[in-house]
A and B are shown apart, each in its own frame.
Chain A
Amino acid sequence: MRRIPELFARMAGDEKHEWAAASTIDVLWVLYDRVLNVTPATADDPGRDRFLLSKGHGPMAYYAVLAEKGFIDESTLDGWTSWDSPLGQHPDRVLVPGVEISSGSLGHGLPIAVGTALGQRIGGSAGRTFVLVGDGELDEGSNHEAIAVAARLGVANLTAVVVDNDSAMYGWPGGIARRFAVEGWQTAEVDGRDHEALFAALTAPHDRPHAVIAKIERGD
């Protein structure tokens, strides 16, 4: 993660600390550095793990990690959001190698993730699907359709990571984990900045869909 600030600066200009404010940076780093079984060489392998960024807003952290891991050339970061840059304020899977879904509109990633996880299972793939959603994004009803369906269909190769920085309009009384648990998901709540805790949660065995709630201090 040493080079993340430098890569961030290529998009954000000179603001040295902006990278640290990204709520998703630690989750993304732990996933790509230690959890996901995918590399630029296996980006099209049917057996790969798939990471779906549902919360497509604020993708600098995502692009920085993809650059550091070699999915995209880091010089690509310089012109981001310009006319002929493949990198926009919301990622497009057609334009960016390694990006599994085009996202931006909230509430689409989790239902798609249920489909990719089912597709992996049908194809006899050992691959798993990880999807990152925001706690504010959970307001979208489509997520609740998918939360219910994933558990009923026993989609055990699916992990939803909810980055919870307390940004949902009316909050989630009782906590987000309970929403998933009541539908039959395995759940874990961890400090979203603690790499060891994230790693342990993201690699915990589960025989049903797994929700990892990554808590981030408000304002982060």
Chain B
Amino acid sequence: MTTMRQAFVRTVNEELDRDPRVAVVTAVISSNEFPQEHERVIDVGIREQTMVGVAGGLALTGLRPVVHSYAPFLVERPYEQIKLDIGHQDVGAVFVSIGGSYDDPVWGRTHQSPGDVALFDTLPGWTVHVPGHADEVTPLLRQALKDDNRVYIRLSLHENAQAHPVGEGFTELRHGKRGVVVAVGPMLDRVLKAVESENADLTVLYAATVRPFDSDGLRKAVEETDHADIMVVEPYLEGTSAHLVSVAMQQIPHRLRCVGVKRHAELRNYGTAEDHDAAHDLDVVGLGGAVRSFFRG
């Protein structure tokens, strides 16, 4: 089986040959996956601030840099460089992370990044993709490489059993009357299982692209239900998309339940991603409980 990371590497290497605008900037992580002798492949060593600064400079000369690292080192450490060297320079780039929010919890808190999408939300003009399957990575990435905009693609080890069409807003995978659940990326399969296990009469929307947020798609789905009750299930900080749901639904009295990585405490536990899913109620059991309590009556 191809992982999301493998799909990313393969697609970038194909486009490196095809498109003279494409460049790759890394800081050691994954650098052995790209042809180091290629003049548009640049590894800066373990220097993430410079990784982003160099990408900004390349973009200023008309190139299309792909910037890649483990999520906390791609987004959190050089956050000001993302804000200034990309955004404030008014240039574009394609940022691709692996590891978030907690793909490898044995490495502890230093390698977790549940706040990455929330950080991008502080900056204007970013498109954010959270694919849920390796086969969704290539079309999203190909389109991103063609464009000039600012794009963040968040790859994970955790996937749904099958890919869904991407690039056209939210996709309705289940239709119901009691309310709407938005499942982001790798959350989809467990959301569907939880809804089915609760026999809940819910619409389920799948989102592989969360920014821009498909407000029209959400409103339309809500209008076809009997209750304006919305649950958003995200694989990063709970409530990250709450402000966008509020804007989308401002003319419609509604209830909102946000599910995601809990904010209240730092878990000083190792274990597996499944252990952490359970701790954050992001497993089927936890999601079933959320569905049961929120869509009651």
B42 nearest in chain A by CB position: A118
Interface size of B by CB at 8 A reads 28
B33 at the A/B interface (Cβ < 8 Å)? no
Instruction: Name the prevailing secondary structure of the A interface residues.
Output: helix
Which range contains the number of A residues in contact with the other chain? 20 to 34
Q: Which of A102, A117, A122, A152 has a CB less than 8 Å from the CB of B40?
A: A122
Given known pairs A122-B39, A149-B50, the reply for A108 and B81 (CB within 8 Å) is: yes
A:142-189 near B, CB below 8 Å: 142, 145-146, 148-149, 152-153
Q: Which of A93, A107, A125 has a CB less than 8 Å from the CB of B90?
A: A93
Q: Of A94, A112, A116, A120, which is in contact with the most chain B CB atoms at under 10 Å from its CB?
A: A112
A105 at the A/B interface (Cβ < 8 Å)? yes
Contact assessment for A105 and B80 in the assembled complex, using a CB-CB cutoff below 8 Å: yes
A:112-133 near B, CB below 8 Å: 112-123, 125
Given known pairs A123-B62, A145-B50, the reply for A112 and B45 (CB within 8 Å) is: no
Contact assessment for A148 and B47 in the assembled complex, using a CB-CB cutoff below 8 Å: yes
B56 nearest in chain A by CB position: A112
Number of A-B contacts (CB under 8 A): 102
A70 at the A/B interface (Cβ < 8 Å)? no
Q: Which of B42, B50, B88 has a CB less than 8 Å from the CB of A142?
A: B50
Given known pairs A148-B45, A149-B47, the reply for A115 and B62 (CB within 8 Å) is: no
A40 at the A/B interface (Cβ < 8 Å)? no
**What 1/0 mask marks residues of chain B from 69 to 86 whose CB sits below 8 Å from any chain A CB?**
000000000001100110
Contact assessment for B80 and A116 in the assembled complex, using a CB-CB cutoff below 8 Å: no
**What 1/0 mask marks residues of chain A from 98 to 114 whose CB sits below 8 Å from any chain B CB?**
00111001011011111
**What 1/0 mask marks residues of chain B from 44 to 60 whose CB sits below 8 Å from any chain A CB?**
11010110111111111
Q: Which residues does B use to contact A, with CB under 8 Å? A: 23, 39-40, 42, 44-45, 47, 49-50, 52-63, 80-81, 84-85, 88-90
